[in-house]
Chains A and B, each alone.
Chain A
């Protein structure tokens, strides 16, 4: 009785159902496009063209994707242990402090390849610290992690306004941001990577942190499926009672997982701060932490699903800008709608189409019993 839904073959479970959920989400988004009097197909064309039509566009798409890989991984890692970390947004924001401090300290004296690892360490440290408290409160005091992380997002936001207007802002400047970093605080672009494919990156801020994101994705895969800790996390996520039986400490896992999740979110800050703006600005996260929820849900919390999902959202962000240019009625907020719809259909309503698909398989099985038996 624990699983009221029919068992489906793997490809349907991991391929067909997410695909159907995604298609429905886009169809509903298409309705919104119709509602504002534009043609959804045209919009889709502009979106794809805007995301992949030129080397520079691809560069932007991948730049956004980099950010979303980090936040998607952050949310996914927590999911594996059965925790819903809504706080990636705030953890990424606070992670920025680590990046900014490293850059402000070393950018004038050191080359980027020295600053980068230190900044990375800083981003992980600060992001993890910001996630430690909600984790500790959940593990030791039973506070609901969802509520606590939401609260921490707002606290982070206030803290950063304070820091950027009072502490990190250079004297005499009005803008709430750090000073612009010297060369040591600027990451090299990955123009050579796109050049291999004959593409010109133009002004796109596609930078080396993309490679770090890929490494992080691989690292998360290793962590989840190839380490003892990952094994313990998954045990707890699937069955807390089995975890207790196996002698796995719930307290330890919750705290460690939240810190890893926060660290991954924090690393996101490297991309915009050292890769694009070369300074830390107010609100540089821009909702990427929340996009991470959609990315993780769509990618089924697997790095191999998260990377394409992140690229899809990168495409939406970059292509969305192109739609906004071609179709003034559709601003980039369209992406926020799609993001919400993806969360709704791939997350909260993930089981809506399952019974119908299950019935489809069942009737197929009746007509072709042999094939169905093999499938089972």
Chain B
């Protein structure tokens, strides 16, 4: 018996061209809460999925409790005493708590016997860990906090000694999160080992014993929590990157072109994603929204571009107030001078099966210059596409090529060309350089600055802090659906990092 619960040695995993995990080493001691922190896309979830048998590592070794194991599927993970609480709960909504808990671990062909046993066991677990849930309640009728408790019970029911929680507080209210932490503390006292994956520094500091930081697929540091600070972790998470150099002059902000007023958005489950957000953008300035992915930026973008409906709130576009709870639709907003480069070009900004020229009119296909009555004016469309190809140096320069055959950077240029060349008054850009090669990044950044200098109001949302700092004239930080602070672009990374991690904005609190 060793006092090491899990040891990962040299884990490596790629998905196609994406190198999600690079040579990861990790040691988790028994009976501790071990935090794994990192930005979205740092490779945390992939690593844990490997540990739970969802994916196989390309290279590397997993040692559980002193024994080297192969975890080829979740079954093997369960057999090794590993349990996982997934970010999106793996629960059958129209089953009862009891049924969910025993699914896959029933000890008899006949349910009644299994149920009786499970009920007794569940009662015991509830008592031991103070995890009260009505065993006969339907999952769909439970609040998310309780659903998560069921997930924990599922793992305990399978006799898990090692519990992985993937972003467990993402869907919880602060009170629910506190309760969860108390439960985790209790589990630890009972000798369980807990791995907590999160991007929230507050949680790490509050309950972990040790913390490992991941960045871009690599494990960059492991620290005892008591010996580190929020500042250090924030810096490790974000990393000291080569500062992007973008030549840009002073901004000359003019009148307000676009304002968002008291916008609140909920998702399908009723969770508030954007919480009473208001801000203005002036002509000739770039406003950047910084934040860790998943803090409501996507929903904000989708709502102000008319794709998603708001619960309440409105926008002012060029002085026209538009109610965002009702009939605002993307076409109408476009007609009023708003252009939108969406975050997800593969599914939203482009139709990958279309020819390049067809994508160059997406959303603007009502425009008279592309039409002859109800017919598409193919000559005009292709000529227009060719012009954009030239101006944006899209390669290969073939308007008839299927969009899927362009590289990421060139696909992004197709979208940018379409949205920028319309001469909009307001330009909303989400993740302008995600999955884009270095050469194209520079080009895209230049174009964005040019738009500003032409007097457009630009809203930039990016999870790349460097990008936000290099391009923006003002930075708003979004956390948990709210704008938690505003900074000038020369604010330090540490300062922004703290805001992004949800640490209270001292300056504003002092006011």
Chain A residues packing against B (C-beta within 8 Å): 1-2, 7, 222, 225-232, 234-235, 238-239, 241-242, 244-247, 376
Contacts and interface: CB of A to CB of B under 8 A. Distances in A.
B497 interface: no
Contact of B363 (A1, A226, A245): A245
Give me the 6 closest cross-chain CB pairs, A-B, nearest first.
Answer: A247-B331, A247-B330, A246-B363, A238-B351, A245-B348, A241-B347
Contacts of A241: 344, 347-348
Contact of A231 (B329, B340, B346, B376): B376
Interface in B310-355: 329-332, 334, 340, 342, 344, 346-354
A242 B347 contact: yes
A226 B366 CA distance: 13
A228 B349 contact: no
Interface in B352-376: 352-354, 358, 361-363, 365-366, 371, 374-376
B311 to A, nearest CB: 19
B374 A229 contact: yes
B369 to A, nearest CB: 13
A226 B349 contact: no
Given A231-B365, A232-B365, A226 B375 contact: yes
B90 interface: no
A230 B353 CA distance: 15
Central interface residue in A229, A232, A241, by most chain B CB within 10 Å: A241
Contacts of B350: 242
B353 A245 contact: no
Nearest to B334: A247
Contacts of A238: 351-354
B365 A246 contact: yes
B307 interface: yes
Contacts of B103: none
Contact of A247 (B306, B371, B378): B306
Interface string B391-406: 0000000000000110
A235 B358 CA distance: 10
Contacts of B346: 2
A214 B378 CA distance: 23
Nearest to A247: B331
Contacts of A232: 365
A246 B358 contact: no
Interface of B: 15, 305-307, 329-332, 334, 340, 342, 344, 346-354, 358, 361-363, 365-366, 371, 374-376, 378, 404-405
Contact of B354 (A7, A228, A234, A245): A234
A167 to B, nearest CB: 38
Given A226-B378, A245-B330, 14 more contacts: A7-B404, A225-B376, A231-B365, A231-B376, A232-B365, A234-B354, A238-B353, A239-B348, A242-B347, A245-B307, A245-B348, A246-B365, A247-B330, A247-B334
Contacts of A227: 374-376
Nearest to A249: B329
A1 B15 contact: yes
Tell me the dominant secondary structure on chain A's binding face. Answer: helix
A179 to B, nearest CB: 41
Contacts of B374: 227-229
B362 A246 contact: yes
Nearest to B333: A247
Nearest to A225: B376
B77 to A, nearest CB: 22
B348 A242 contact: yes
Contacts of B15: 1
Contacts of A226: 375-376, 378
A242 B345 CA distance: 9
A231 B347 CA distance: 17
Contacts of A231: 358, 361, 365, 376
Given A1-B15, A227-B374, A244 B353 contact: no
8 contacts: A228-B376, A234-B351, A238-B352, A238-B353, A238-B354, A241-B347, A245-B349, A246-B365
A228 B371 contact: yes
Nearest to A3: B404
A94 B96 CA distance: 48
Nearest to B335: A247
Give the most central of B332, B347, B361: most A CB within 10 Å.
B347
Nearest to A376: B405
A239 B340 CA distance: 17
A247 B363 contact: yes
A245 B331 contact: no
A38 to B, nearest CB: 44
A350 to B, nearest CB: 16
Nearest to A246: B363
A241 B347 CA distance: 6
A247 B329 contact: yes
B337 to A, nearest CB: 14
A85 B352 CA distance: 25
> Of B351, B362, B376, B378, which is in contact with the most chain A CB atoms at under 10 Å from its CB?
B351
B365 A228 contact: yes
A235 B376 contact: no
A242 B376 contact: no
A242 B351 contact: yes
Contacts of A7: 404-405
Nearest to B306: A247
Contacts of B330: 244-247
A229 B331 CA distance: 15
Contacts of B354: 234-235, 238
Contacts of B365: 228, 231-232, 246
Contact of B351 (A230, A239, A247, A376): A239
A229 B366 CA distance: 10
A34 B299 CA distance: 61
A222 B305 CA distance: 31
B301 to A, nearest CB: 11
Contact of A239 (B305, B306, B347, B358): B347
